[in-house]
Amino acid sequence: MNFLRANIPDVVICEPTIHGDERGYFVETFRADKLESFLGYKINFRQDNESKSSRGVLRGLHYQLAPAAQTKLVRVIQGRVLDIAVDIRKGSLTFGKHVAVELSAENKKQMLVPRGFAHGFVVLEDDTIFAYKVDNYYSPENDRGILFNDNDLNIDWQVPPSELNLSAKDKVQPKLSQTNDLFEYGMNYYND
């Protein structure tokens, strides 16, 4: 597996080695030792999640506050998504900037979205199955979000707005500038 730092270095793109022949393929999708060696810190994933969505479904931008903050390792099992991670760490040089990566069943790339980032994705193909690991359990009282189309974020979702399908909750999230529920750059959110 190859690990690459994204344009925001705390976000990591994981590119697995695919072993294939006429029978199909084999791929390691997760190795704690290799990932932790690259990152320089330990991750204890506690929950796996999976969703199936149609083209145009947009989920996000979501995050959880400490003490329930989450690191996510996301991938696509079937179909394609545009995956987004937004830096919401006040004081960071990349505050409000984002990483955008296409994840697909074909390229098998994964993205590690660390604590301190809001995460979302838009589905680019019908019947897409999206899977992810998180290192903290879902916590409704710590669940937060940022408005997906906040102009200050300047995200090109690659799907026309008229074709987007969002939950009622995601349509009314606050803009980044309208929330105080953020992270502080330099704080250690991994003491759990």
Is this model's pTM higher than 0.85 or not? yes
Return d(Cα 127, Cα 55) in angstroms, integer.
7
Q: Is 132 a catalytic residue?
A: yes
Over 80: is that where the pLDDT of 75 sits? yes
Structural tokens at position 182: 């953020």
Tell me the mean pLDDT in the region 107-126.
97
> What share of the chain in percent tops pLDDT 90?
89
Annotated catalytic residue within 41, 62, 138, 185 = 62
Q: Which of 63, 98, 119, 132 is catalytic?
A: 132
Interval 78-84 mean pLDDT: 98
Query: What's the CA gap between 166 and 5, in Å, rounded?
Result: 30
Q: Specify the CATH number for 45-184; select among 2.40.160.10, 2.60.120.10, 3.20.20.70, 3.40.190.10.
A: 2.60.120.10
Residue owning tokens 């330099």: 186
Q: Please confirm, yes or no, whether 19 is among the known catalytic residues.
A: no
| SS3 category, 26 | strand
Q: Are 95 and 185 in contact (CB under 8 A)?
A: yes
What number is the average pLDDT over the span 4-8?
Answer: 96
Mean pLDDT of 73-82: 98
Domain boundaries defined on the chain: 45-184
First to last CA, the chain: 28
Report the run of H or E that residue 170 belongs to, with start and end.
helix 168-171
Structure confidence at residue 191 (pLDDT): 56
